[in-house]
Amino acid sequence: MMTLSNTHALTKTALLAAGLLTAGLVQAQSMGGGAASGGQPSGGQPQGSYSSQSMEQVEVDDATLETFAEAFQEVQQLNQELTEEMSSAKSTEAAQSMQRETQEAMVKAVEDSGISIADYNDIASGMRYDPVLAERVKEAVNEMR
């Protein structure tokens, strides 16, 4: 039986999963040396990210960026572990179970870091549109290593 609590948790997980796809794509582009926008100049955009829903600019202060970077790093670690574990999945059901468990762990990691799922996803999405933001995240992650 699906309770309101379970529905809320699934919604959070779905939102984070959508953000993770964005973050994974952004990481592949930005952490690999290229700008998140495919090398396009930012046109002097001020620091910040764009809301994935409204495309309005959202300012990202240094403290929030650092919190995001901590969560981002943890989420990427969980994603890497999932990728490695998926190769040993004996069935589609087992793989789906691994994905659900990892997504729940990712939600917990983000929430434990002190940033909301919505803010995490907005910043992750914003990295695609704002190469300055992508570079700021890259620098913050590299400082933590």
Q: Give me the chain's average pLDDT, please.
A: 73
Mean pLDDT computed over 118-141: 90
Amino acid at 77: Q
pLDDT at 72 over 60: yes
CA pair distance 35, 56, nearest whole angstrom: 21
* Residue linked to tokens 């300012």: 59
Mean pLDDT computed over 87-113: 93
pTM for the whole thing? 0.64
What confidence tens digit (pLDDT) does each residue in 6-48 have? Answer: 444 444 554 565 555 545 444 433 444 333 333 333 333 334 4
Of 145, 68, 54, 83, give the one whose Cα is nearest residue 113.
Answer: 68
Torsion of CA 7, 122, 129, 46, to 10 degrees: 170
Of 110, 102, 34, give the one whose Cα is nearest residue 71.
Answer: 110
